[in-house]
């Protein structure tokens, strides 16, 4: 299966360390296009750090020492302007965190900071499309002026997804997107992630095995800064690797 699907990101020997701790210990991983690439693992295993190194958000933390290569569409990410890279590789955080402004302004944020002058109707169109893709437009009932922080938790999370989608990223990364949500809100995110992979490449970090079962095409288990298992979604759950069995037993 791996041969048929195109790789969009290749991680090679990626090492992230602070002065007194190795967080990622020279990991290799391929991210496949138009698939849900899931990274599971216990807390503190380096999952979130891995995501933050893919869009160079780690650059902002001077205590993190990063080495190795990440190739995004044949280009090493260190040769890409971080601002450009972050538009192409979007990130949705664990806790929904809309900016304290209207729904419209929240989604418009990423467009406005580009400094490009967009016509009003063009901007409206893009924002409506993003909210539709994030499955939020109907629930809002056309009222985009309401405050982003007044929405429910699940709606806030989908607003944050819309905010990333409006930039038309190629890759969308989710850092435990459902852990702060109730079961119904969770279900909507599950459906959404399934729909999104038609247009985007999804990288999903989670320790929710239920979510993984439902959406994952490729599942990778990280443990203490190293991948101990990689494979397709179904292979993963049948795996005989000891760490996988242990992790699944713990998670369920």
Alpha-carbon dihedral 236, 242, 246, 248, rounded to 10 degrees: 10
Q: Closest by alpha carbon to 227, among 11, 7, 8?
A: 11
Helix H or strand E segment including 75: strand 75-76
Residue from 110, 154, 177, 225 in contact with another protein (CB under 8 A):
110
Site for another protein in 44-63 (CB under 8 A): 55, 57, 60, 62-63
Characterize 1-29 residue by residue with b for buried, 16 or more Cβ atoms within 10 angstroms of its Cβ, and e for exposed: eeeeeeebbbbeebbbbeeeeebbbebeb
Q: Is 141 in the site for another protein (CB under 8 A)?
A: no
CA separation for the pair 104, 100 (Å, rounded) = 11
Q: Is 158 in the site for another protein (CB under 8 A)?
A: no
Piece in contact with another protein (CB under 8 A), picked from 24-32, 64-72, 89-97, 130-138: 89-97
Residue from 16, 162, 167, 209 in contact with another protein (CB under 8 A):
167
Report in angstroms the alpha-carbon separations of 81 from 31, 55, 86, 189, 201. 21, 10, 9, 30, 20
Q: Is 150 in the site for another protein (CB under 8 A)?
A: no
In the complex with another protein, the residue whose CB is nearer, 93 or 237, is 93
Q: Is 164 in the site for another protein (CB under 8 A)?
A: yes
Site string for another protein, 200-239 (x = CB under 8 A): ----------------------------------------
Cα within 13 Å of Cα(20), Cβ side: 0
Residues engaged in binding another protein (CB under 8 A): 55, 57, 60, 62-63, 83-84, 86-87, 90-91, 93, 95, 97, 99-100, 109-110, 112-114, 160, 163-164, 167
């Amino acid at each position: 299966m791996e041969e048929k699907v195109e790789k969009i990101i290749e991680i090679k020997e990626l090492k992230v360390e602070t002065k007194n701790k190795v967080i990622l210990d020279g990991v290799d991983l391929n991210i496949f296009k138009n698939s849900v690439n899931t990274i599971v693992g216990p807390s503190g295993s380096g999952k979130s750090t891995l995501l933050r190194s893919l869009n160079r958000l780690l650059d902002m933390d001077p205590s993190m020492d990063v080495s190795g290569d990440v190739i995004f569409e044949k280009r090493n990410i260190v040769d890409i302007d971080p601002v450009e890279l972050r538009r192409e590789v979007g990130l949705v955080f664990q806790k929904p965190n809309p900016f304290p402004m209207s729904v419209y302004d929240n989604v418009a944020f990423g467009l406005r900071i580009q400094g490009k002058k967009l016509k009003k109707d063009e901007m409206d169109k893009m924002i409506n499309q993003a909210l539709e893709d994030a499955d939020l437009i109907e629930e809002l009932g056309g009222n985009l002026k309401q405050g982003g922080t007044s929405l429910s938790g699940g709606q806030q999370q989908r607003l944050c997804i819309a905010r990333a989608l409006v930039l038309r990223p190629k890759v969308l990364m989710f850092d435990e997107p459902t852990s702060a949500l109730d079961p119904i809100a969770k279900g909507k995110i599950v459906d959404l992630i399934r729909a999104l992979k038609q247009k985007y490449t999804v990288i999903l970090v989670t320790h929710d095995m239920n979510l993984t079962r439902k959406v994952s095409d490729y599942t990778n288990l990280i443990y203490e800064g190293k991948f101990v298992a990689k494979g397709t979604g179904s292979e993963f759950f049948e795996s005989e690797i000891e760490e996988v069995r242990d992790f699944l037993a713990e998670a369920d």
